[in-house]
Structure 1
Amino acid sequence: MHARAEHWNTIYQQKSPEQMSWYEPKISASLYWFEKNKIPVNASIIDVGGGDSMLVDDLLRMGFQDVTVLDISDAAIERAKMRLGPWASRVTWIVSDILDFEPQRHYRVWHDRATFHFLLNPEEIQTYTGLACRSVEQGGWLIISTFSEQGPLKCSGLPVKRYAADELTSTFSVCFHQPECIPVNHYTPWGSLQPFTYCCFRRL
């Protein structure tokens, strides 16, 4: 097994959802972009690094019909399936490192809450941005969040790259435009503050 996958499987096998620093029962900051942009319920959506995030629950409740969740950890995916029960069959599940992902289709919305900032070297970052450019259809959206410059230096034992809004915008400017960025303060289940940069771009 890929070392990165092994690391994340261990995390998910050892901790409950409420013990994860990123846990939120409702991903309000992400849902804000879906509502603001009036994304239609038939839009094809991929949640990159979705793991056992609660976002998919809310998207299904809102009536979205074409949701894909990708995560490097099969343990995370299995936990999400168990939580959703019969609703899990409405979701396309993909176990893959995002850098190895070879999409077979285009998506209207690419959502990534805190996966991208684990990519540190320029080659990995270029691979990711190229993949997003190829995967998001014309007129589609890229919704992405990372730790901000004031955020932590590590997450789950791994180093991260922190981004200001202008740097995140510049990184994806090769094919994503009309940036809208907001600062978001996330509080971990134990009350620690984690400042995030949240951006939404159009593929034009």
Structure 2
Amino acid sequence: MKSSSKHWNLIFSGAEDSKLGWYEKDAEKTFELLNQVPNLKDLTVFLPGAGTSILIEQLIAKGAKLVLNDISIEALNKVKGRLQVDSDKIYWLCQDISKPITDAIPNVDIWIDRAVLHFLTREEDIKGYFNNLESKLKVGSYAIFAEFSKTGAPKCAGLTVHRYSIEELSERLSSSFKLITSFNHTYINPNGDPRPYIYGLYKRTT
């Protein structure tokens, strides 16, 4: 089954956020990488597959501007309902992240993907994703990934996933990107099940 807006709308409308399999009480592991990015305040951050993550509020608290993308309008509406921020701080984008992004969305300083890329399993969709990343991420800026590792579960949310190694992530990025650091992390989901992830921080150098 291909990831679709209908599938994700049903998931986000049918469960409390804290019951979702990818729910995090905080974004500690993401910030282990983010803390290596200088001057987060006033930078623009793109969150593909933002969902309803608490990372959104934590980035706003750091002074970042956001582009919040999700294939699910239900997820974005949940976020809109809980946020109290100026509209000029957030761009809202409801679309499949493998499809071309409108020029109305600004270029960004940081791209943070937590558990989105691995839901793209068709080669054309994966290439479309990386084309978007390269078209929107400024030179000198950073990309962070957190994806199911090669030892991770083969499915999530009822969908087959494409599991990654840091080597494959590096190969799929162009030579314009340099790996800064990476680590493995086993996330324990709300059901108590272990989910092995690979985390990576890249800098775009050219």
Q: Is TM-score (shorter-chain normalized) higher than 0.5?
A: yes
- Within 1, Cα distance between the matches of 2:111 and 2:31? 13
Partner of 1:10: 10
- Within 2, Cα distance between the matches of 1:81 and 1:101? 24
- Within 2, Cα distance between the matches of 1:99 and 1:131? 7
Partner of 2:184: 183
- Within 1, Cα distance between the matches of 2:170 and 2:86? 34
Partner of 1:196: 197
- Within 1, Cα distance between the matches of 2:15 and 2:153? 20
Tell me, yes or no, if the aligned pair for 2:68 and 2:93 is still in contact at 8 Å.
Answer: yes
Tell me, yes or no, if the aligned pair for 2:98 and 2:126 is still in contact at 8 Å.
Answer: no
Partner of 2:26: 26
Instruction: Output the amino acid matched with 1:11.
Output: I
Q: Deviations over 1:113-135 (max 9, x none)?
A: 11100111221111111211111
Shift, 1:136, TM fit: 0.4
Partner of 2:173: 172
Partner of 2:124: 123
Please state whether the residue corresponding to 1:59 is helix, strand or coil. helix
Please state whether the residue corresponding to 1:37 is helix, strand or coil. coil
Please state whether the residue corresponding to 1:99 is helix, strand or coil. coil
Identity of aligned residues (%): 27
The number of residues matched between the two structures is 201
Please state whether the residue corresponding to 1:87 is helix, strand or coil. coil
User: What is the RMSD of the two structures over their aligned residues, measured on CA atoms?
Assistant: 1.7
Partner of 1:99: 98
Instruction: Output the amino acid matched with 2:50.
Output: G
Partner of 2:85: 87
Partner of 1:136: 137
Moved over 4 A (4+): none
Tell me, yes or no, if the aligned pair for 2:46 and 2:66 is still in contact at 8 Å.
Answer: yes
- Within 1, Cα distance between the matches of 2:73 and 2:175? 32
- Structure 1 residue runs of 5 or longer lacking an equivalent are none
Tell me, yes or no, if the aligned pair for 1:103 and 1:135 is still in contact at 8 Å.
Answer: no
- Within 1, Cα distance between the matches of 2:179 and 2:165? 16
Partner of 1:41: 41
Partner of 1:75: 74
More helix by percentage = 1
Shift in CA distance, 88/42, structure 1 to aligned 2, threshold 3 Å: closer
- Within 1, Cα distance between the matches of 2:192 and 2:179? 34
Shift, 1:3, TM fit: 7.1
